A and B are shown apart, each in its own frame.
Chain A
Amino acid sequence: MQQTVLALVSERKKLVSTIKDLVIENLELDLEPHQVDEDCPLFGVGLALDSIDALQLVLSVEREFDMTVPTDDVTIFRSINTIADFIERSKD
């Protein structure tokens, strides 16, 4: 049981790390992964990304995880953690 939980935690950490790298690399942010908080808002305050970045982020998530991302649900891209939640939900 504990091993299963540990495996899930490890998998989640790996996913979050991949998303952080994706955001930094594709949007050419001058940040290190440890400087991006998983719950930090990506748009508006926080990382202050704009709508053009949003479309780029959608495309890069689709490419990296080989999935289709709806563009009418703005809650998916609220933070790194919400993107991870969406990807995990999509796998189920």
Chain B
Amino acid sequence: MTRADIEKLLPHRKPFLLVDEVTSVKPGQRVTGLKFLEPDDPVFEGHFPTDPIMPGVLIAEACGQLGAIALALESGDVDERAQSGKATGYLASINKFKFHSPCRPGDTLEMTVSVGKRMQSLIQLVCAVKTGRRKVASGDLTVALQ
């Protein structure tokens, strides 16, 4: 799934759309996707000027956005969803998220998000992120769907 399709599903836009490509998706269950860490991304100018690394909170946010794609596609394909309105999910909690190793400009984040337990409008997302063979982050998010 390309960036154009992703923009049909999510309300986020540059510079805060943090999913560049969706590589596989099982609607309502599991999704994998990529985020390319462009060396000229302004976030690296300040985080940190002499030691640029991707902020952990943005990695968690990217996982939340990717999870929203799996949830959005539960009720129709990309074009059907684009017609019916974009999925808006709000991050409700970040649970026991671990950042195992830093990611730098030029790295590609390979994210896998599985949809877990649901309770009314709250949904658990189980996240794992790596770059190449290196484990980058893992943890659970809770999102509230509107």
Which A residues are closer than 8 A to B by beta carbons?
51-52, 54-56, 58-59, 62, 71
Contacting pair A71 B117 (CB below 8 A): yes
A-B contact pairs, 29 of them (CB 8 A): A51-B119, A51-B120, A51-B122, A52-B92, A52-B93, A52-B122, A52-B142, A52-B144, A54-B119, A54-B122, A55-B117, A55-B119, A55-B122, A55-B124, A55-B142, A56-B93, A56-B95, A56-B142, A58-B117, A58-B119, A59-B116, A59-B117, A59-B124, A59-B140, A62-B117, A71-B117, A71-B118, A71-B119, A71-B120
The binding surface of chain B is classed by DSSP as strand
Q: How far is the CB of A20 from chain B (nearest CB, A)?
A: 20
Q: How many residues of B contact A (CB 8 A)?
A: 13
Q: Which residues of A contact B142 (CB under 8 A)?
A: 52, 55-56
Q: How far is the CB of A92 from chain B (nearest CB, A)?
A: 24
Bound Cα distance A56, B142 (Å): 9
Distance in angstroms between the alpha carbons of A55 and B144 in the assembled complex = 11
B residues sitting closer than 8 Å to A (CB atoms) are 92-93, 95, 116-120, 122, 124, 140, 142, 144
Closest 4 CB pairs of A and B: A71-B119, A55-B119, A55-B122, A52-B92
- How far is it, in angstroms, between the C-alpha of A56 and the C-alpha of B118 when the chains are bound? 11
Contacts of B92 in A (CB 8 A): 52
Which residue, of A54, A55, A58, A62, has the highest number of chain B Cβ atoms within 10 A? A55
Nearest Cβ in chain B — how far from A89, in angstroms? 20
Chain B nearest Cβ from A75, distance in angstroms: 14
Q: Please, how many angstroms separate the alpha-carbon atoms of A55 and B95 in the complex? A: 11
CB contacts (< 8 Å) of A55 on chain B: these are 117, 119, 122, 124, 142
**Once bound together, how far apart are the Cα atoms of A54 and B93, in whole Å?**
12
